[in-house]
Amino acid sequence: MTSGGTFAVVLFGVTFGLIVNASLDAVGDIHVGAAAGLCALAFLTTIALMIAVDRATARRISRA
C-alpha cells in the first residue's frame, strides 16, 4: 500500500475513534451537528480510502 493509502487508513481509524468518543459523550447530551459532521467525515474518509486502494491496485497491475 502506498503512503497515501496508509494515511487514509490511519485517518479512517482516527475518524472512527472520534465517532465512538462523540457517541459516548452524547449519551447525556444531544450533539446532532457534531455527530452529523463526524459521520460526513467518516464517509469522505471512506471514499478517500477506496480511491487510494484503487490507485495502489492499478499501479501493481500495471507493473505486473
State if pTM tops 0.75.
Answer: no
Mean pLDDT, all residues of the chain: 74
Q: Copy the grid coordinates of residue 4.
A: 497515501
Cβ-Cβ contacts under 8 Å for 39 (sequence gap 6 or more): 19
pLDDT of residue 6 exceeding 60: yes
Helix H or strand E segment including 59: helix 32-63
For 9-38, the pLDDT digits (tens) are: 777 777 777 777 777 666 555 566 776 777
**Residue 56 contacts residue 2 (beta carbons within 8 Å):** yes
Share of the chain above pLDDT 70, in %: 70
pLDDT of residue 1 exceeding 60: no
C-alpha neighbours within 13 Å on the C-beta side of residue 31: 16
